[in-house]
């Protein structure tokens, strides 16, 4: 019995942080759509956190149904005139709307307003991440490691290139380096590629060219990743509390770096430099949420901001059914002066659904392999 309750407790240690993280970033995303719709006078019928059957909810004074649904893997805002929660098209009854109803319907708005309402979701995630990071940098400080080499590993790429302890890294591949974290990011993104590094040694600027070696690392969650390594080490760790203005500027920079790194990582998966097994789904997020929550509030808040950036970025991918897919359709409509045909939009929706389902299944399979569920099931039948 004690073991049973311990298992329940351990499960809750992962489930609760996961629900908090996903619930917050989904709420922020949908709130972006909601606020933009209200700004342009579009009526919002439903604001849902989760999919499927409603667990509980309430109506506000403007008639919007706010609800929590039983499957907490996303959410949606259904606007007046939408045919369904995915906003895959206009309701068939739109043609019969009165003039007053048309003013409040989503699909009767000018294309610029529709574009703004859809774009507001990912924008909300980005603004939320910036504000969360800025608050963290102001209250707890921004992690900072000076870009100074404390040790060069023997026979490493850096040692062969002539780098020494005490060197201050200035640029990598033309990108300015302000911290050791910047060095790690730049090296990882240039693994297996020749790159130029400039550094300061005793007041004199020098330059070397080297190729970061590709290594397989295992993170604390057990995941394996390809990354770059040159063989330099720093033993310094500082936290700099920033004034609000500098904190906001630093948060914007971090958000930009996270987005660029994610896009470059996806590109490397596509061309085969990184393994597609690094792609994680909801189970991996749940595991990471629970682990990060144990590291304290600051680590959890940082993870929350990172997930918000990723959600905003993924939704901007030009895939039908995602916000990015809708935005592409609206851009085409703006250029052509009229929307794509219903057949074209329906075909795009089918392709988008196929891509999303395939991606979700693949990510979930990776999660099950990562969590050793697959190997366990195989052992039962071998």
- Per-residue model confidence (pLDDT) at position 379: 46
Tokens of 117: 């309402």
> What are the residues whose beta carbons fall under 8 Å from the beta carbon of 110, sequence distance 6 or more?
none
List residues bridging with 207 in a β-sheet: 198
Question: Does the annotation mark 254 as catalytic?
Answer: no
Angstrom distance (rounded) from CA 348 to CA 370: 32
In eight-state DSSP terms, residue 171 is E
List residues bridging with 312 in a β-sheet: none
H or E stretch at 363: helix 342-370
- Per-residue model confidence (pLDDT) at position 100: 83
Domain residue ranges in the chain: 146-236
Angstrom distance (rounded) from CA 156 to CA 162: 10
Which among 346, 320, 327 has a CA at the least distance from the CA of 112?
Answer: 327
Give the alpha-carbon dihedral of 221, 225, 230, 234, to 10 degrees: -20
Which among 293, 280, 220, 221 has a CA at the least distance from the CA of 15?
Answer: 293
pLDDT per position as a tens digit, 104-132: 888 888 999 999 999 999 999 999 999 99
Cα 12 off chain centre by: 24
Which among 253, 21, 29, 26 has a CA at the least distance from the CA of 134?
Answer: 253
Tokens of 141: 């400080």
* Local confidence band at 21 (pLDDT 50, 70, 90 cut-offs): confident
Q: Is the pLDDT of residue 367 over 80?
A: no
pLDDT per position as a tens digit, 50-75: 888 999 999 999 889 999 998 887 88
> What are the residues whose beta carbons fall under 8 Å from the beta carbon of 17, sequence distance 6 or more?
289, 290, 292, 293, 300
Tokens of 58: 């309430």
Helix residue spans in 272-322 (DSSP H):
282-294, 297-315
Q: Is the pLDDT of residue 322 over 90?
A: no
pLDDT per position as a tens digit, 187-222: 887 888 888 999 999 999 999 998 888 887 665 555
Q: Choose the catalytic residue: 30, 238, 278, 346.
A: 30
* Local confidence band at 40 (pLDDT 50, 70, 90 cut-offs): very high
Instruction: Report phi then psi at 126, rounded to 5.
Output: -70, -45
Angstrom distance (rounded) from CA 302 to CA 254: 11
CATH number of 146-236: 2.30.42.10
Angstrom distance (rounded) from CA 133 to CA 254: 8
> What are the residues whose beta carbons fall under 8 Å from the beta carbon of 171, sequence distance 6 or more?
177, 196, 197, 198
Q: What angle do CA 266, 270, 273 make, to 5 degrees?
A: 85
Q: Give yes or no for a contact between 147 and 176, defined as CB atoms under 8 angstroms apart.
A: no
- Taking the complete model, does pTM exceed 0.75, yes or no? no
Instruction: Report phi then psi at 301, rounded to 5.
Output: -65, -40
Q: Give yes or no for a contact between 78 and 44, defined as CB atoms under 8 angstroms apart.
A: yes
Range in 6-10, 29-33, 76-80, 84-88 with the lowest mean pLDDT: 6-10
Q: What angle do CA 152, 158, 159 make, to 5 degrees?
A: 65
């Amino acid at each position: 019995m004690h073991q049973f309750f311990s298992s329940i407790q351990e499960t809750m240690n992962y489930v609760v942080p996961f629900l908090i993280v996903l619930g917050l970033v989904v709420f922020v995303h949908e709130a972006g759509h909601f606020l933009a719709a209200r700004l342009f006078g579009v009526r919002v019928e439903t604001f849902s956190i989760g999919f499927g059957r409603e667990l509980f909810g309430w109506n506000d004074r403007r008639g919007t149904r706010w609800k929590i649904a039983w499957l907490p893997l996303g959410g949606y805002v259904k606007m007046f005139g939408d045919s369904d929660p995915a906003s895959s098209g206009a309701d068939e009854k739109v043609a019969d709307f009165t003039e007053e109803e048309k003013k409040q319907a989503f699909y009767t708005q000018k294309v610029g307003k529709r574009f703004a309402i859809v774009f507001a979701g990912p924008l909300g995630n980005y603004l939320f991440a910036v504000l969360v990071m800025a608050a963290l940098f102001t209250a707890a400080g921004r992690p900072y490691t000076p870009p100074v080499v404390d040790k060069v590993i023997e026979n490493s790429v850096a040692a062969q290139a002539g780098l020494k302890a005490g060197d201050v890294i200035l640029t990598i591949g033309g990108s300015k380096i302000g911290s050791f974290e910047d060095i790690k990011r730049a090296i990882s993104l240039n693994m297996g590629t020749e790159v130029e590094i400039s550094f300061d040694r005793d007041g004199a600027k020098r330059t070397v060219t080297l190729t970061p070696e590709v290594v397989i690392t295992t993170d604390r969650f057990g995941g394996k990743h390809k990354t770059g390594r040159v063989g330099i080490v720093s033993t310094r760790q500082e936290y700099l509390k920033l004034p609000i203005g500098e904190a906001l500027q630093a948060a914007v920079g971090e958000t930009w770096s996270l987005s660029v790194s994610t896009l470059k990582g996806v590109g490397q998966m596509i061309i085969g430099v990184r393994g597609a097994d690094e792609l994680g789904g909801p189970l991996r997020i749940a595991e990471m949420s629970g682990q990060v929550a144990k590291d304290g509030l600051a680590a959890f808040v940082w993870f929350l901001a990172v997930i918000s950036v990723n959600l905003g970025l993924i939704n901007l991918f030009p895939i039908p059914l995602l916000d990015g897919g809708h935005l592409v359709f609206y851009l085409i409509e703006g250029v052509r002066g009229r929307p794509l045909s219903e057949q074209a939009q329906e075909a795009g929706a089918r392709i988008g659904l196929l891509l999303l389902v395939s991606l979700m299944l693949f990510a979930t399979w990776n999660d099950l392999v990562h969590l050793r569920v697959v190997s366990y099931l195989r052992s039962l039948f071998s």
